Structure 1
């Protein structure tokens, strides 16, 4: 297939570029235990691609105590984030696959624009730890937005940072909520990982380097 033009890519971070799900799970699980909740993997799967505040509300569906104040909820979210950041600090460039590194390099050599569109407020820390900060032209993350996916805000913000119209961008996400966010932003959506089986994805890929054929 002949490539017709340069492309504008917006990538989710967790589950696409790096895999920090295990760190999220460990941090949420440890936090949940402090309020008497044993977080299982089934519930944890519902947290993927969801904002920190919404994730906490999902976990609190199992809470049996008195209703929590917003102040207490904020404290719990801060506790989780501190635990998560402790895990992230152990990350190195070895936590990024050669497939991802090579593909990003080829896309840049082609002259494509690359951005991150992640709900995570720790996106910059993660990219710094794995040595990929300079691999992307722009970073839109949880510090730039008020609404998590499936709201399109983070993808729209990434397109704005790239100075590109949303319909000229292609979003890559592993979560169903991310694919929904991309479609809500009027972008083409590529499903990878779990979302490769989501019917709303315009393209479905098995590995990151499959992007080179699109």
Structure 2
């Protein structure tokens, strides 16, 4: 399919939506710490890593925490989250995404996952899509979080494809910035204003089509 050789996906908000589980897990931790936490504040945590998210919550507590205490709190949040995601099934794949990935694979284009979640391997196992992804890069494999391009560049390296021939698919501003900084073509899923740096924006995964992606990619080069 032209010169697109790889498509690399984010997980949350692109392949499945575990945002609600993350919200509930952070909310439980914030309640334990007596820190006000609502959905509006939760939006600030979208697309960033666990420790960065924790720092934002702890700032609101007005207290000082040691590195060890922060590690313990991050682990506690993760335990809450892992308990919640035990209920994920293939039915939790976002509409249209399985078909789109299959269409890509049929054309001989390789696929990857680049997720800030350390639980990404567990989630894709629950979704039963391991066979649809050629590589998986999560937060445990990189040092820098999005918007740093490291996670996407690591995926391109593992796939053996140069970034200019790769497409990244994201639903968060930090993710789109990471894709662009990696020198890749960026597809944004969600709000036009938030994701304005993307090369192509759709409102939901069901709107993705390889034919249109190919056209837009060609026009951008």
Give the TM interval when normalised to the shorter protein.
over 0.9
CA distance in 2 between partners of 1:102 and 1:74 (Å): 39
Residue 68 and residue 197 in structure 1: after superposition, are their counterparts in 2 closer, same or farther (change >3 A)?
closer
CA distance in 2 between partners of 1:136 and 1:196 (Å): 30
1:11 is matched with 9
2:218 is matched with none
Q: CA contact under 8 A between 1:175 and 1:194: conserved in structure 2?
A: no
Please report the TM-score for the alignment, with normalisation by the length of structure 2: 0.91
Q: CA deviation at 1:193?
A: 1.5
Please say if 1:205 is aligned against 2:202: yes
Q: How does 1:9-48 map to 2 (within 5 A)?
A: 9-48=7-46
Please say if 1:149 is aligned against 2:146: yes
Find 1:74's aligned residue among 71, 74, 94: 71
CA distance in 2 between partners of 1:194 and 1:44 (Å): 17
**Unaligned stretches of 5+ in structure 2?**
214-221
Q: Once structures 1 and 2 are overlaid, which stretch shifts more, 117-126 or 97-106?
A: 97-106
> Cα deviation per residue 1:7-33 (whole Å; 9 max; x = unaligned)?
310100000000000000000010111
CA distance in 1 between partners of 2:43 and 2:203 (Å): 20
Please say if 1:110 is aligned against 2:104: no
Q: CA deviation at 1:171?
A: 0.5
> Cα deviation per residue 1:98-123 (whole Å; 9 max; x = unaligned)?
41111111111111111001111010
Secondary structure of 2:208's counterpart equals helix
Please report the TM-score for the alignment, with normalisation by the length of structure 1: 0.94
Secondary structure of 1:74's counterpart equals helix
CA distance in 2 between partners of 1:13 and 1:102 (Å): 16
Q: CA contact under 8 A between 2:4 and 2:166: conserved in structure 1?
A: no
The size of the alignment, in residue pairs, is: 211
Q: CA contact under 8 A between 2:191 and 2:203: conserved in structure 1?
A: no
CA distance in 2 between partners of 1:38 and 1:51 (Å): 20
Find 1:121's aligned residue among 118, 141, 144: 118
Q: CA contact under 8 A between 1:173 and 1:179: conserved in structure 2?
A: yes
Secondary structure of 1:37's counterpart equals coil
> Cα deviation per residue 1:140-188 (whole Å; 9 max; x = unaligned)?
1111011110011110111011011112211100000001101111111
